[in-house]
A and B are shown apart, each in its own frame.
Chain A
Amino acid sequence: MTPALTALQEAWRKPQGRAGAALLLVVVVSAVVGPWFLPDPLAQPDILAGSRPPGLGHPFGTDQLSRDILARVVAGARVSLSVALLAVGLSATIGAAVGLISGYLGGLVDAGLMRLVDGALAIPRLFILLLVLAVWERVPLLALVILIGATGWFATSRLVRGEVLRLREETYVRAAEALGAARRHIILRHLLPNTLGPLLVAATLGVGDVILLEAGLSFLGLGVQPPTPSWGSMVLDSREVLVSAPWAGIFPGLAIVITVLSANLFGDALRDAVDPRSA
């Protein structure tokens, strides 16, 4: 656990790491607390009035169904962040498991798993998801999370495998082997803790990717399903009122940029802390 914690501390000491973490904290806090102070994101108080520009009462304006855009952006943050955290957690878990097994066992298992990863990496993630989601009417949110998570571990497993191949030759692993330690013990006690640093970097940088991916899928109508508010589908809906109510699309888009940017800033600082050569 310690190397990963040290990396977190070091990332916090860097200005861009601190900026990213602070910005991300603002997003998380408003997503958690915001809905208590804002109107219901699904309420349509005055549907005949149509879309109103930003002003008093509605800082971000209202959309064509008279729903408060600020409330919807904040509700969308809840959805986007939960999808991203769960999906990235799933990807990191699968990636670590496959990488550890593949790297430590080697042989046919390794060859088989890595060929599968090669094949999967040849298809951009968006297209894998499009194929599964295109014929699926109204995909449930949990299924979406699992699908996004299950398509994000390929590169991570390669990364972890590489680390394991290096660690396998270290003296302390050899010593544990010589003492007759079980494979399970070596993998969980000696190898896993030492791969946590790179794993943490990959996961943090994965958060931004997943938020963009989920927004893109929702923009295509395949991600988060209405009426659940999501940034991508808000931008999609704003296409119809692009000229008369540009604010309907601008604010959810800005929310995406800020969230992804802060996650990436923190992820970059983490990577510099784990691997100083990349700075």
Chain B
Amino acid sequence: MSGWLLRRALQAVLVLAIALTILFFLMRASPGDPLARATEDHPISPAELAVLRARYGLDQPVSRQFVSFVAGLVRGELGVSIEYARPVTALLAERLPATLLLGGSVLVLNFTLGLWLGVRQAVRRGQREDRWLTAVSLVGYATPSFWLGLVLAWFVGIKLRLLPAAGMQDPLLSWEAGTAARALDVLRHLVLPVLTLSIVSIAATMRYQRTAMLEILQLPYMMTARAKGLPEREVIWRHGWRNALFPVITLFGLWLPILVTGSVFVEAVFAWPGLGSLAAAAVWGRDYPLLMGASLLVAGLVVAGGFLTDIAYALLDPRVRLA
């Protein structure tokens, strides 16, 4: 086990190193000037521009830039944001909690409601409920998150005035408000972004669970369980679902990039103060050190997600370790 774990960990580090190299050289291959935006509004003299280029290391050859970038990374530094004039790591750390709250809520919703619906669909394969759920989830999957977010913000937030359509906290909430009132306020702000992200991504969970469950339903031990006279509920959930849960674990690793991509748009639309809206702001501000840092963090999350998925799978299914 420990040998396998070590090899898998080394593999994850290698993948991350390759991803980092790709990111760095892609960015340098882009024909744009990283400082174009920083000097756009206030024209500066060539001498000042040279100072600025030197500060960001842009006067060095690309190979030297790469070495100093990796050296900085080893020290835990990601450079300084052009737009905010603060260390990128500090900015990322500040925004991480809001994204974890949003992403975690979507995760819980998709991996409870999504799995439950997927099992129901498999049990009722080909029936009306199965067909309707498939159709609805496919429409959700085809919907752009930024558009759905805007429509919900307009309809639920502005027309019906049911829920706040932007931000994470009500700025007018009184200072004396207690913890419960504050938590409720954040919760109310959380509803629309979570709903948007869930609608556009739950199809993956449902479909995966449906397929896995269909395979289990055909196995002989399901017939045995029924033949023993167990109640149908127990047959489905205890005998069937438990075994159909294995394949779903791998979905977690595949699903993480979808979530991260969606959160860029959803956070930007709802002005949710997380990493996604920070990445969008970095795009709009042409803030390449910040964008680079955010992309690296995302790549790290995806690799870590894949690594954890493999470990969970190996722990639950001993056959995997042999492979």
Contacts and interface: CB of A to CB of B under 8 A. Distances in A.
Interface string B250-271: 0000000100110011001000
Interface residues of A, number: 48
B299 to A, nearest CB: 5
A120 B22 contact: yes
B265 A128 contact: no
A256 interface: yes
A206 B249 CA distance: 24
A44 B15 CA distance: 51
A212 interface: yes
Contact of A124 (B32, B261, B268): B261
A156 B153 CA distance: 37
Interface string A191-230: 0000000000000000010001001100111100000000
A37 interface: no
A261 B68 CA distance: 46
A116 B32 contact: no
Interface stretch (A98-106, A169-177, A245-253): A245-253
Given A124-B302, A131-B23, A264 B144 contact: no
Given A123-B299, A136-B31, A128 B142 contact: no
A119 interface: yes
B25 to A, nearest CB: 10
A178 B158 CA distance: 72
B147 A253 contact: yes
A245 to B, nearest CB: 11
Interface string A227-246: 00000100100110011001
A118 interface: yes
Interface string B68-84: 00000000000000000
B211 A278 contact: yes
Interface in B142-164: 142-144, 146-148, 150-151, 153-154, 158
B21 interface: yes
A208 B142 contact: yes
Query: B interface, by DSSP: helix, strand, loop or mixed?
Result: helix
A135 B34 contact: yes
Contacts of B141: 264
B84 to A, nearest CB: 15
A184 interface: no
A265 interface: yes
Contact of A260 (B29, B142, B151): B142
B298 A221 contact: no
A208 B203 CA distance: 15
A180 B46 CA distance: 65
Contacts of B150: 235, 238-239, 242, 249, 253
A231 to B, nearest CB: 8
B299 A132 contact: no
A128 B139 CA distance: 27
A134 to B, nearest CB: 5
Contacts of A115: 14-15, 18
Given A116-B18, A123-B19, A215-B144, A265 B30 contact: no
Contacts of B15: 115, 118-119, 122
Contacts of B26: 128, 131-132
Interface of A: 115-116, 118-120, 122-128, 130-137, 208, 212, 215-216, 219-222, 232, 235, 238-239, 242-243, 246, 249-250, 252-253, 256-258, 260-261, 264-265, 268, 278
5 closest A-B pairs (Cβ-Cβ)?
A119-B18, A135-B32, A253-B147, A260-B142, A261-B142
